[in-house]
């Protein structure tokens, strides 16, 4: 039988703000959801059309994750049948400039890749 695990007496360090933000943005499809919600509120089906490669299961998980972190708000509309609309919170709006900057760099990387030949591997 092993020794019992002892609790640490040291307070854990605060979470690094950069790590916290990058953890959120590196989640599968999270930046895409934020990007499309930056244009205004969207319903689940509209987001599925906006991001066609994401499955319903994964999109649901990302929406719940972003809602739990306070990035998006979920509003149940009084329609028949009931419908849900998602929008960015004030915190979510703060992420939009960063995502726009990432999109600009991505576009430049794509342009660069089109103009530069792919390096060939040497034969072994």
Kindly state whether residue 9 falls inside one of the protein's structural domains. no
Kindly state whether residue 10 falls inside one of the protein's structural domains. no
Kindly state whether residue 2 falls inside one of the protein's structural domains. no
Kindly state whether residue 7 falls inside one of the protein's structural domains. no
Kindly state whether residue 119 falls inside one of the protein's structural domains. no
Kindly state whether residue 11 falls inside one of the protein's structural domains. no
Kindly state whether residue 101 falls inside one of the protein's structural domains. yes
Task: Report the CATH number at residue 76.
Answer: 1.10.10.10
Alpha-helical runs (H) found in 2-89: 17-25, 30-37, 44-50, 56-68
pLDDT band at 73 (very low <50, low <70, confident <90, very high): very high
72-77/83-88 β-pairing:
antiparallel
Give pLDDT, residue 119: 67
The total domain count for the chain is 1
CA distance 57 to 35: 19
List pLDDT tens digits, range 40-72. 999 999 999 999 999 999 999 999 999 999 999
Task: Summarize the confidence of residues 1-30 as an average pLDDT.
Answer: 86
Give pLDDT, residue 112: 87
Kindly state whether residue 123 falls inside one of the protein's structural domains. no
Give the range of the structural domain holding residue 58, as residue numbers without chain letter: 17-113
């Amino acid at each position: 039988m092993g020794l019992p695990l002892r609790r640490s007496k040291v307070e854990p360090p605060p979470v690094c703000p950069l790590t916290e933000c990058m953890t959120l943005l590196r989640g599968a499809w999270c930046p895409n959801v934020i990007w499309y919600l930056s244009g205004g509120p969207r319903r689940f089906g509209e987001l599925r059309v906006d991001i066609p490669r994401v499955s319903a299961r994964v999109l649901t998980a990302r929406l719940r994750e972003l809602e739990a972190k306070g990035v998006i708000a979920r509003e149940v509309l009084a329609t028949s049948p009931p419908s849900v609309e998602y929008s960015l919170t004030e915190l979510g709006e703060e992420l939009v400039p960063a995502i726009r900057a990432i999109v600009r760099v991505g576009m430049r990387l794509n342009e660069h890749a089109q103009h530069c030949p792919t390096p060939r591997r040497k034969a072994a």
